[in-house]
Amino acid sequence: MIRRAHVGAEIFDGDVLHDGKALLIDDGTVRGICSVSDLPEGCEVNEHDGGTLMPGFVDLQVNGGGGVMFNDETSLDGLSAIAEAHASTGTRALLPTLITDTADRTRLAVDAVEQAIAASVPGIIGLHLEGPHLSLERKGAHDPALIRKMETEDEDLLISAAARLPNLMVTVAPESVTIDQIARMAHAGVIVSLGHTDCRMDTAVAAFDAGARCVTHLFNAMSQIGNREPGLVGATLSAGGVFAGLIADDIHVHAETMRVALSAKKGPGEIFLVTDAMSTVGSRIVEFELNGRRVLRQDGRLTLEDGTLAGADLEMIRALRVVVGRVGVSKAQALRMATGAAAKCLRNPLCAGHLLGGPVSNVVHLHSDMARAEAL
């Protein structure tokens, strides 16, 4: 048995930030955290010059990367390219996300993710289907021609996919699904997330009661808090068991709005970070196509030609810097939002988001300036 100890860096275990400790690794598995003064006899010691040893980022909304959009390359090769691009930025677990598309494309996405998991493609832990059962009024950059209500065949496909995949997240709008459909999907293991909806608070609460347990990119493409109608945002912040993804680029959501939401959110459901990343991550492309429409990349934002935001030009490490530097959350809270909180939303985290008991390949070294996250 090979025993190594990593010292000289803070250690974040997915929940707690430890200082003055050592990370113990035996035969490629993280075995424990101990005081530097209590290192096991005979272990090999690796010294680090500051920074943080932590689980790799967990991103539950990844549309593309490495110049590839999942909608365009819905295959094992496409997933491998996307996962590799995000791994280079510190992400070790992700849900490739299919944006509103046809039923045939949805089937391809399920098959591709199942193949990727069977082939042990690093980082692929399930699938996120964002649409097509959304609201036209809150469609965002989704193709309105493909948005539709959920039929029996759609529900059957999703329930079958949930049995085949460790994690299946499906973003739906209450306008396009029924409460009974939400309940049946949740019972079958689908992680039902509300998004792209103009629903009222009472409708959202009914969906939560039926089994929806997440909200997709909080504040964006949804009903907002008003003085007489709290909308989905209000329902999310006041619901104790509901998780919510947040695009923390200071473009999709203002830093002060993020600060208010984090102060207001009731537990145990948590707000976690997502990138909503498109094909631009890990590439220098300046434009690409989404369902036949041009998406332009400029000044850190992605838009359709009419100015509508179309995903995000964002890496998880930059989201960390935003929530620490502009929103003002603690480093420990920010790291949890990028790891343990997201993993807690999953049905089967597959060792993602936490250190202990996981493989050393999941561990990254975050530099002190939070500019790089590299393999251990």
* DSSP per residue, 168-199: EEEEE-TTTS-HHHHHHHHHTT-EEEE-SB--
List, for residues 83-141, the tens digit of each pLDDT value.
999 999 999 999 999 999 999 999 999 999 999 999 999 999 999 999 999 999 999 99
Q: Hey, what are 20's tokens?
A: 């003055």
Pick the CATH number of 57-345 from 3.40.50.450, 3.30.230.70, 3.20.20.140, 3.10.290.10: 3.20.20.140
So which residues are the catalytic ones?
276
How confident is residue 166, by pLDDT bands cut at 50, 70 and 90? very high
List, for residues 283-319, the tens digit of each pLDDT value.
999 999 888 899 999 999 999 999 999 999 999 999 9
CATH 2.30.40.10 location in the chain = 3-54+359-375
What proportions of the chain, in percent to the nearest 5, are helix, strand and coil?
30, 25, 40
Q: Hey, what are 294's tokens?
A: 């041009």
List, for residues 228-251, the tens digit of each pLDDT value.
999 999 999 999 999 999 999 999
Q: Per-residue pLDDT averaged across 189-203, rounded? A: 98
CA atoms within 13 A on the CB side of 109: 31
- Secondary structure (3-state) at 11: strand
CA atoms within 13 A on the CB side of 355: 27
CA–CA separation, 223 and 230 (whole Å):
8
In three state form, how does the secondary structure of 235-283 look? HHHHCCCCEEEEECCCCCCCHHHHHHHHHHCCCCCCEEEECCECCCCCC
Under CATH, which number does the domain 3-54+359-375 receive?
A: 2.30.40.10
Closest to 129 in 3D by CA, of 155, 151, 91: 155
CATH 3.20.20.140 location in the chain = 57-345
Rounded to whole angstroms, the maximal C-alpha distance in the chain is 66
